[in-house]
A and B are shown apart, each in its own frame.
Chain A
Amino acid sequence: MCFTIENLLLVVPVPRGYMGKILRVNLTTKSLKVEPTSEEVARKYLGGKGYAVYLLYKYLKEYEKAGISPKDIDALGPENVLIFATGPGTGVPGFPSSGRYHVMALKSPLTGSIGSANSGGEFGPFLKFSGFDAVVIEGASETPVYLAVVNGEAELRDARGLWGKNVFDTCRILRDKVGGKNTSVACIGPAGENLAYMACIVNDEHRAAGRTGLGAVMGSKKLKAIVVSGEEKVPVAEPKKFAEVSKRCLDAMKNNAVTGVGLPTYGTAILINIINTAGGLPYKNWQTGVNPDAEKISGETLAEKYLTSRRSCWGCPIGCGRVTSVKSGPFQVLASEGPEYESIWALGSSTAVKDLDAVVKANHYCDEFGLDPISMGSTIAAAMELNEREYIPQEDLQGLDLRFGNAAALVEAVWRTAYKAGFGKYLALGSKKLCEIYGHPELSMSVKGLEMPAYDSRAIKGIGLNYATANRGGCHVTGYTVSPEVLGIPEKIDPLKAEGKAKWVKIFQDFTCVVNSTVNCLFTTFALGVKDYAELLSAVTGWELTEDEILKIGERIYNLERVIINKFGFDGKDDTLPRRLLEEPMPEGPAKGQVTELEKMKEEYYKLRGWVNGIPTREKLAELEIEL
């Protein structure tokens, strides 16, 4: 079985920074088509997330024209659309930390909102080197297939022999099979095949487009993997100017204490102690923000006892990736990567598991089976609280001893979720549906169905507003205000004050859209600002972008994404937080007695955004030149 591209010849001029081609694959009809990357669209939406949001909106309009309501789109049906997209920065040598790509789906099976996730490693640049800016997946195959994109050619191939294999084996087998230089595999593991709602897409063994269940979308389409390979180069508009800007930015990153020392030395896990000290490290499914055992699962402990080496994504001078091992014992892992801060928190702190061996093992299983460790750990933590409050019938648990702190049960629960074995079939639904099934939706610590990450908004107020208003649901990297609130970057603001947070949330959300559409790493923003991005992108594309234009592009992307989720039925009522964060005062620590004053912050935020009840006004959309 082999299907190849229908039309490869294109005569449209290629915009600089882009490969000029988008591959559109229909898995139902097995057709592969190439269309030009539009400079007009790229100028308004860059690439990556922005370009994908634009394309998804076009699909929605087509569906509406055909009489299909956006609300009726099944996230796991053939009508869902999945897009792997790079941007003008991706794969450009010297563009700081540009080894990333963005994945989007019209709808997430976990949330019912838009699907969105971002990943590093090598897949993004190698997709560009294969000759394409993006791959759009439509329809669904009846039997397992994988997509091979090699040096400008593409074909669908039989993947029946790969179905059932884990992520590590799939990556290895396909990389060996395709061979060549610059070869990378993005795939799903058993969790995606079995349609676990928090299944993710993993590339290069340990790098994942983790959030919103995009692995299940791939699984529903019977698309096991995409393998990319190639040696094409990304055209740069002004190489000399770019070399100057690049050097200045790379020097800034090297000389920055965070990107030059902190992240390379300790990785992201170094946050465990500081967030816990600030009283914002959620513990036992967010019952408090102080973990008495934080030191045992900290970045310092990880570096001291587990770290064997570092791993950088393509073109990244930071190298925050951790190569780790658990040398002996029941949770032995011979070689792994991570866990990151978020994974340690979700699998360790939220579950009150203080055995870092078990957390490393559980994280390794998440990579091996293809699960988002944030949603996985959070869902297990929710199940632990449900169980301790005796809300789960014991016959449903089938002997799985889900109590806070039970390291063995944590590890057992992860693989059971991937295979939907025993109680795993309930865990695979995610915390929102799990808690609804057992009659206590308030115990799901999620927003719009997406489990929130590792910062308690009673101790860090701005991040609460960001969680509530993030289009994809409870997400920190939509607008990472933890940076000014706790880390003091670019300036220090008080985490316990709600006043003035709306403007920070808005600008972080808009700028992050630019980063995710460039596509490069958010960690660059600890050292680089909007001006640096404007100069880097201008030199690559030749467009002479100003700082204001850059932020307007980000705001445009965020608003069009909001228009899409409005069509799914999400509005101001969904821009909220779990009751625990709004009504239960923090019981201890520096934020003792605090709740999240969301309504006050949200009112200011909507005003700044030009939204009414979570919906952009016509005037705002016109101002942003968004054509509906």
Chain B
Amino acid sequence: MVSVKIMLFATLRSKYKTRELVVNCDGTLPNMIENASKILGQEFVDDVYDKKQGKVREDMIIMVNGRNIKDLEGEITLKDNDVIAIFPPLAGG
């Protein structure tokens, strides 16, 4: 098991009234999301995970230590103290 910090932003932060939380998981993203939902509520899974596709929702922006998971090659394995930032779709300029 590893311990990681999850940070929520924008509408996710206001919805769950949580800025950050620490969760233990087996180092995979699905398990991290599952365990986070035990604290935040089951709805959190639907907010960030596409069960049909069996992967993180395409429109969510999830960054591990500042790198978008879409830019990371290979299977993602989380390590102790990793920081996972989760943003809903957003933009500005």
Contact = CB atoms under 8 A, between A and B. Distances in A.
Interface of A: 257-258, 261-263, 265-271, 273-274, 277-279, 299-300, 320, 340-342, 476-477, 480, 482-483, 486-489, 492, 494-496, 522-523, 526, 589-591
Interface in B67-87: 67-68, 70-71, 85, 87
B46 to A, nearest CB: 15
Given A277-B63, A492-B68, A265 B11 contact: yes
B83 to A, nearest CB: 8
Contacts of A482: 93
A377 to B, nearest CB: 16
14 contacts: A262-B11, A262-B88, A262-B90, A262-B91, A266-B90, A268-B92, A278-B68, A300-B9, A340-B92, A489-B91, A494-B71, A495-B71, A526-B91, A590-B67
A302 to B, nearest CB: 12
Cβ-closest 6 pairs across A and B = A590-B66, A268-B92, A257-B89, A262-B90, A271-B92, A494-B71
Nearest to A492: B70
B92 A267 contact: yes
Given A277-B63, A278-B66, A492-B68, A262 B93 contact: no
* Contact residues of A: prevailing secondary structure: helix
B1 interface: no
A300 B9 CA distance: 8
Contacts of B22: none
Contacts of B14: 300
A492 B65 CA distance: 17
A261 B11 contact: yes
A257 B59 contact: yes
A287 to B, nearest CB: 18
Contacts of A496: 71
A270 B63 contact: no
A277 B5 CA distance: 14
A487 B71 contact: no
Contacts of B63: 274, 277-278, 590
A22 to B, nearest CB: 30
Contact of A483 (B65, B68, B91): B91
A300 B13 contact: yes
* Contact residues of B: prevailing secondary structure: mixed
A83 B7 CA distance: 47
B65 A590 contact: yes
A487 B90 contact: yes
B93 A480 contact: yes
Interface string B41-54: 00000000000000
B92 A488 contact: no
Given A266-B90, A480-B93, A487 B67 contact: no
Nearest to B87: A274
Contact of B93 (A265, A279, A477, A494): A477
A274 B60 CA distance: 12
Contacts of B11: 261-262, 265
Contact of B89 (A258, A299, A341, A590): A258
B65 A274 contact: no
B39 interface: no
Contacts of A267: 92
Nearest to B85: A277
A493 B20 CA distance: 27
Given A492-B71, A495-B71, A274 B90 contact: yes
A482 B68 CA distance: 13
Contacts of B21: none
A459 to B, nearest CB: 9
A482 to B, nearest CB: 7
A274 B71 contact: no
Contacts of A590: 63, 65-67
B91 A279 contact: no
B40 interface: no
Nearest to A261: B11
A264 to B, nearest CB: 11
Nearest to B69: A492
A494 B70 CA distance: 8
B20 to A, nearest CB: 10
Which of A274, A480, A494 has most B Cβ within 10 Å? Answer: A274
Given A279-B66, A488-B68, A263 B9 contact: no
